[in-house]
Structures are given as structure tokens and as C-alpha cells.
Amino acid sequence: MILVLIDAARLARAGYVFAREGVLSLVNPALVPPLARPGLRIARLLARPDAGSRAARLSAALSRLGPTYVKLGQFLATRPDVVGASVARDLEILQDRMPAFGHDLAEATVADAFDRPVKDTYSWFGPPVAAASIAEVHKADVTERDGTTRAVAVKILRPGIERRFAADIATFRRVATFVEQISAEARRLRVTTVVETLGRSVTMEMDLRLEAAAYTELAENVKDDPDVHVPAVDWDRSAREVLTTEWIDGIKLSDRAALEAAGHDLQNLARIVMQSFLRQAMRDGFFHADMHPGNLFVDADGRLVVVDCGIMGRLGLKERRFLAEILYGFITRNWRRTAEVHFEAGYVPMHHSVDDFALAIRAIGEPIHSRSAEQISMARLLTLLLEVTALFDMKTRPELLLLQKTMVVVEGVARTLDPQLNMWTTARPVVEDWIAQNLGPVGRLQEVGSGLGEVGRFVHDVPMLLTRAGRVVAQLDDATRNGLQLSPETLEGIGRAEARRAFWGNLALWLIAIALLILAFD
């Protein structure tokens, strides 16, 4: 009962804020149950007259409600299947613009994290330079043993954020469960799954050691990319609540005037942004999933510097192949092959017609090739593709939705730098390189090698399996000697089962060996 009252109070406050900021005024009354329409009319009377655009109203309401709601808004921007494409676009502009929590609290958090005074960790610790929903960033100095000083960025969790988030997410979870019980549409959209995914995502974000690990993995992946740089992590000064990285003196990608004044080639920067993201997604399967302009800088050497690795995306080999082949299929206008990839990946059920699906994809792709370069949008393409696949019973793929959301942001950043950027020309070398490495002869040999490795491991395990089988037989003999009576029928059944397993096991080994030989010389 107490939890119900607490949830009701929290939801009442949230409802008031949404009403006051004018968010509820945007709701179509026809979509609201009749009993709730009087409440909607009252909410419209509470709205501020200067509420602004829908995006501004959403941003203001979520910011007033606090860090958990800001993070919820950012997360829902990745789920257009839940909130709708237009609302998702409005939520994309919701960047972390929260008030700083204070210098004294920041120093206390650092002291607690390392169990020593701040001055023993940093030779100088400055005021906050940025504040987000979960953490804020300070600039500091570190004195090395040789007496030299280097600047670092110190990210610190908001005090009490874990407790507040846990309370809010518990309310969200109970509300989602209730809504699914009364709404078939909510069950289709799997609202409780959305809440659980949000909970897991932010829980990982609130352990800055995991973000530090993401920094290092991303840095390892791009170490040979001359146009991209990832700040180094100072592991000696990083903990669960504190993350210390290399300080970046650069120009934000959103400051076009400063970039031009510094003499940077904006067209080349647009290409770097787009190709870097595609390499992360396709080559590495590990991509920065929050590449808004506030997280992208250009250093003095003209390199793209990526910061804030709190939200990362992963793609398995199947997803990377899917992405590469559909992009290449659209580039080459091979609609049939693009359709086949969906079926091979298991995204579209086999009872559908490949030809019908190819026709649907052609309806998306043909208009693209009749447009000028500045009108072509790969992000829009993926959005349309996911809409079409829904007609063919393709289930929601969370990893593809995150990819789509990130591509929308990356494409927008690239277009602000170069409005004439041809996305297909820019993407083609990255896609072709991945296909050559993974789907060409080299990729086939790697697959054969992987298959041979699996066979080798199986052959290596055969003696162990035979030893286990011998132990089972010995145990059966012991059990028989100790008075356990097995009927002749049971013993005969065991023998037949062992014979069948031996026959099919040997047959499988020979078939695998033959298939690998065919692949090796195909």
C-alpha cells in the first residue's frame, strides 16, 4: 500500500510537470480513453503560454523532473517503434544540460573514491566545465614523478544518483507492468522490456570503470586510424565514481565558425565523421552510440576526438554482415540480394516470399537513386527499411534500432559540416573494404579456418567423451553388482542408443570434413 501511494505521488508530480510545460497539450484527445479526456482538458489549462515547440516542451519537462527522466528521454529517442518517429526525433536534441552539483561535493566524492585528500590525487582541481544527467566533468592537473604537469578531465558521478535512479526505475517498472495488464498495445511494444533495458543500460553507465574499459577498447580499435583519436584513460585515478582521462584541447564540432577560423577542412571532417562511425560499426562491431556534437572535438592536428563512452553499441558478425550487404545492395541497386540478406540473417521468417520482399525494398531504393547527393539519407533509408520489414513480421532488433539512431545523429553532424556530402560515395570505400575482407576469398578462408578449428576441438575432446562413456558403463556395472536389476529390454535400449549416437556422430564428422574441403577449394 505504501509503494502504491509513493508511486501515485511521483506520477502525480510528473503529470503536473508535463501539464505545466505543455507536453500533455500535444496529445490528441481522440487517442485518449473517454474517462481521461476531462483530465486532459484540465492539463491544457495548466500549460504555460510560452511553452514553445514540442521539442522544447519535452526537453523542459524532462529536465525539470530530474536525471532519471532525462536519461529516459534519451533512451526513448532510440526507440521510435515505441514513441513514434516524430517524437523520437524531438528527443534526439535532448542533450544533458543539468546544473552542476557543486565543487565541495565533487571533492568529497573524489576523496571517498581514493581514500585520500583531493590534493594527493590531483595537483590542481578546477571547477566543473560540463554537467550531465549522471555525472559532471572537471578539469584538473596531475604532476608526474619527473615534475612535469599534464591536464586531465575528471568525470564524477552525481551524489545519490544510484539511489534516486533505483527508486524511479522501480516506479517505472510497476507502472509498465500495470499498463501491460490492461493494454494489448503495451504488450506488443513490450513496455516492461523497455524499462528493464533502460535499467540495465544506466546501471552500467553509473559504473565509470566500465566506461573506462570502453574508452580503452575503442582506442585499441582505432589506433591505426590516423584521423581519429580517443583520449587515454588514467587507470590509477579512476574508480567506480570517478573517471580520469586525457584532457583534450580542441574545438567542438558544433562550433563551425571556430573550425573555419582554425583553417580546418570541413568537407574532410564530414567524411571522417561518417567513415569513422561506419568503421566502428562494421569493422569493429563496437561503436560510440552517442556521437552528438558535444561529444566530438577536432584537435590541432585535425583529428576527430571522441569523448564520453558511457553509451556504446555492439554488433555481432551477423549484424555487421547484414549492415554491409544492405548498404552495398542499395549502392549497387541489387534489390534481390538485399532481400536475401534479411532471410539469411533470420530477420524475416522463411514463409514470406523473397521476391515480394525484394519488390518492397525496390520501392524504397529506386527513389533514392533519382535524388541529388544532398537529398540522400542513409539514416532515413534504415528508418524506411525497418518500417517495411515490420510488414513482413520482422521482430524489433534493439541493436539495429541503436545503430539507426546513431546513424541519424552522425549523418546530421556530417551534413552540418558539408551540406553537399554524398553519403553513398563516402560510405562506399568502407563498405567495400569490409565486404572484401569478410565476404570475399580472404573471409571464406577465415571461415574455413574457423570451421577446422571447431573440428579440431571436437576431435581433441573425443578421448574425454570416450572416457566419460567408459565411466558411465563402469557405474552401470557397479550398480548391477550392488543389486540394481536392469531388464534385458533396458540394456538392449541402451545399446541401441549408443550405437545410434556413434553412427550419427561419425557421419556428422565425415560430412563436416567434406563440406570444409569443398569450401576450401570452391
| Nearest CA-CA partner of 376 in 364, 360, 386 | 364
Residue whose grid cell is 570517478: 242
Residue whose grid cell is 562494421: 282
| Nearest CA-CA partner of 374 in 425, 305, 432 | 425
Cα separation of the two ends of the chain: 69
- Residue 443 exposure: Cα atoms within 13 Å on the Cβ side: 12
Sheet of strand 228-229, all strands in order from the earlier edge strand to the far edge:
228-229, 304-306, 296-298, 251-252
H helical segments located in 127-242: 161-182, 184-189, 191-205, 208-221
Residues constituting the chain: 522
- DSSP of 320-352: HHHHHHHHHHHHHT-HHHHHHHHHHTTSS-TTS
Residues 84, 55: Cα–Cα separation, whole Å: 14
| Type and span of the H or E element at 367 | helix 354-369
Query: Would strands 242-246 and 251-252 be described as parallel, antiparallel, or unpaired?
Result: unpaired
| Nearest CA-CA partner of 17 in 79, 66, 88 | 66
Residues 258, 252: Cα–Cα separation, whole Å: 8
Q: Would residue 115 be called left, alpha or beta, if left means φ above 0 and alpha means ψ between -120 and 50 degrees?
A: left
* Residue 290 annotated to the active site: yes
Query: Which of 90, 96, 168, 290 is flagged as catalytic?
Result: 290
Residues 418, 151: Cα–Cα separation, whole Å: 32
What residues are annotated to the active site?
A: 290
